Amino acid sequence: MANGEIISGFIAPHPPHLVYGENPPQNEPKSTGGWEQLRWAYERARASIEELKPDVLLVHSPHWITSVGHHFIGVDHLQGRSVDPIFPNLFRFDYSINFDVELSEACCEEGRKAGLVTKMMRNPRFRPDYGTITTLHMIRPQWDIPVVSISANNTPYYLSMEEGLGEMDALGKATREAILKSGKRAVLLASNTLSHWHFHEEPVPPEDMSKEHPKNKIGYDWDMRMIELMRQGRMDEVFQLLPQFIEEAFAEVKSGAFTWMHAAMQYPNLPAQLHGYGTVIGTGNAVVEWNLVKAGLARMAGKAA
């Protein structure tokens, strides 16, 4: 029974601009495109998901912030309209999401057993955050794979980065336990931007790519340094540098998704596949995959372990 496994993990950033640039029917504002490099990166990630055929997608987003513990969506289905509070001109999206409540509850329980404060979100009128929705849409626009949605407990900001990332490490390990016991094949999504310095004015139109470039050199240089280490599989070094990266590049990975995901995958020193990199209003975004099936660490769909 206990035959579940994590088959792949992605850094899957959530700028709503990517949804806006794609023009899916669910999003009310329409664009003439833009941010193609990142959208093509997501096309490659989508192809990987198609091949992997996961039973469940788990997503950790920095835009569902909780101050008491780690929360998990615990209702079967949510639908409604999500409007981005920062970019309401770009993202007004009609979502319809099915959740894997059984696995959410298992993650919640394993977290509790590991000493974390955890809580199920049972309110049927709850609105998932736009980060979760954007990441899910960009990775699987068919919306046909059930989801486990996890909040970002704000300890990295409220206490210290070290304590906060320690919490995320424990959450990742608990998530792994739950997945192993579930018998399911899971993909993890760390919904995080890398360098987070951004412009304070939006071009007109927002998709004018002649205005899109890294906000500053320090952010860009850090992104390239971290991505190169990831591509080489030097993940120990990535994690050693992470606090400095967060400080100097104002990186959104501070919110914990990246640490959660790698802890759940047991910090594999595996070369990552970079599906692509691009900036969004100056911030650095990479779609990066650690495919454990390709690495021989997990089985293909339909093959017993």
Partner 1 sequence: MTIVSAFLVPGSPLPHLRPDVDSWRQFKVAMENVGEKLRASKPDVVLIYSTQWFAVLDEIWLTRHRSLDVHVDENWHEFGELPYDIHTDVDLANACIESCRAAGVNARGADYESFPIDTGTIVACNALKVGTPELPVVVASNNLYDNQAATEKLAALAVACISEKGKRIAVIGVGGLSGSVFTTAVDPVEDRVVKKVEDDCNKKILSLMESGNIQALREALNSYAKEARAEMGFKHFHWLLGALDGHFKGAIVHHYGAIYGSGAAVVEFSI
Cβ 204 to partner 1 shortest distance, Å: 12
Residue 300 Cβ vs partner 1, minimum distance, rounded to whole Å: 38
CA distance 97 to 143: 7
Residue 48's nearest CA partner among 290, 266, 304 is 290
Contacting range for partner 1; rule: CB under 8 A; set: 58-66, 252-260, 268-276, 295-303: 58-66
* Minimal distance, residue 66 CB to partner 1, in Å: 5
188, burial (CB in 10 Å: exposed 0-12, middle 13-18, buried 19+): buried
List, in order, residues 6 or more apart from 296 with CB less than 8 Å away: none
**Contact, 120 vs 72, CB < 8 A?**
yes
- Kindly tell me which residue out of 151, 195, 283, 291 binds partner 1, with binding defined by CB under 8 A: 151
Query: Tokens standing for 11?
Result: 């850094």
Binning the chain into helix, strand and coil, the percentages to the nearest 5 are 40, 25, 40
**CB of 144 or CB of 201, closer to partner 1:** 201
Region of 38-46, 50-58, 75-83, 251-259 interacting with partner 1 (CB under 8 A): 75-83
Q: What is the DSSP string of 210-242?
A: GG-S-S-HHHHHHHHHHHHHHHTT-HHHHHHHH
Query: Binding marks (x or -) toward partner 1, 265..294, rule CB under 8 A?
Result: ----------------x-------------
Closest approach of Cβ 216 to partner 1, in Å? 15
CB of 217 to partner 1, least distance (A): 21
Smaller CB separation from partner 1, 83 or 274: 83
Query: Residue 18 or 226: which CB sits closer to partner 1?
Result: 18
CA distance from start to end of the chain: 11
Choose which of 82, 149, 175, 283 interacts with partner 1 (CB under 8 A): 82
DSSP helix/strand/coil, 61: strand
Tokens for 199, please give them. 């412009």
Minimum distance from residue 197 beta carbon to partner 1 (Å): 12
Q: How far is the CB of 106 from partner 1 (least distance, A)?
A: 19
- Looking at residues 106 to 145 of the shown chain, list those that interact with partner 1 (rule: CB under 8 A): 117, 119, 121-123, 125-127, 129
Angle at 189 between CA 107 and CA 298, to 5 degrees: 80
Angstrom distance (rounded) from CA 182 to CA 173: 14
Residue 205 in contact with partner 1, rule: CB under 8 A = no
Residues of this chain that bind partner 1 (CB under 8 A): 64-69, 71, 80-83, 85-89, 92, 117, 119, 121-123, 125-127, 129, 151, 155, 158, 198-202, 281
